[in-house]
Amino acid sequence: MSKNIVVVYHSGYGHTRRVAEAVARGAQAALLPIDEHGNLPAAGWDAIAEARAVIFGSPTYLANVSWQFKRFIDASSAVWAKQGWKNKLAAGFTNSAGINGDKLMTLQTLVAMAQQHGMLWAGTGMMPSNVKASGREDLNYLASFTGLMTATPADAGVDEMHPGDLRTAEAFGARIANIVHTQLSAQEDTCLTC
């Protein structure tokens, strides 16, 4: 009857970690970091197995998830073969330097992976801040829907990330928690043929 939420992420330089922390704060979720070699400890796999919702996060490097995150995806093929994550809720986020920078491609990768796992998908559910008066400090100024996007200049340190992006990240986490608590049944169906 768990309604646990976990955030599984890889961060190369600390920016994506900071986004992950904001998302986890909003979702009241546990953080499960993938290491620099692309490994997730066994306890992390166990925590995913117990969770109702899994939020995936990766930097966007050259138009897709980092190789470390992809290694995690490839390692999930053992779970895939048993459809162990079936009907869990999935969501995703990504950070990169450019305002666009093909971040949608990363989110599409996360969607497709989740669909192979038979998971449900939820996006930001946020209207964009897209009028003349909108600014970098507004919620969803990056105008993303399939998942959360944040952008951090290539020369910005971890402590120089846009506060608006981090607030959006926290709101995104809260959105996923809201879905888990108001839209979903307590337990995913474990019927593999359904």
**126-185 residues near a copy of itself, rule: CB under 8 A:** 126-128, 130-132, 134, 141-146, 149, 151, 153-156, 160, 174-175, 178-179, 182-185
Q: Is 194 in the site for a copy of itself (CB under 8 A)?
A: yes
Q: Is 84 in the site for a copy of itself (CB under 8 A)?
A: no
Q: How far is the CB of 93 from a copy of itself (least distance, A)?
A: 13
Q: Is 93 in the site for a copy of itself (CB under 8 A)?
A: no
d(Cα 185, Cα 81) in Å, to the nearest integer? 24
d(Cα 39, Cα 10) in Å, to the nearest integer? 10
- Crossing angle for the helix pair 163-182 and 15-27, to the nearest 10 degrees: 40
The closest of 83, 116, 73, 103 to 165, measured between CA atoms, is 103
Q: Is 49 in the site for a copy of itself (CB under 8 A)?
A: no
Tokens 């192979």 appear where?
A: 116
Q: How far is the CB of 89 from a copy of itself (least distance, A)?
A: 8
Q: Is 94 in the site for a copy of itself (CB under 8 A)?
A: no
Q: How far is the CB of 190 from a copy of itself (least distance, A)?
A: 10
The closest of 192, 147, 187 to 168, measured between CA atoms, is 147
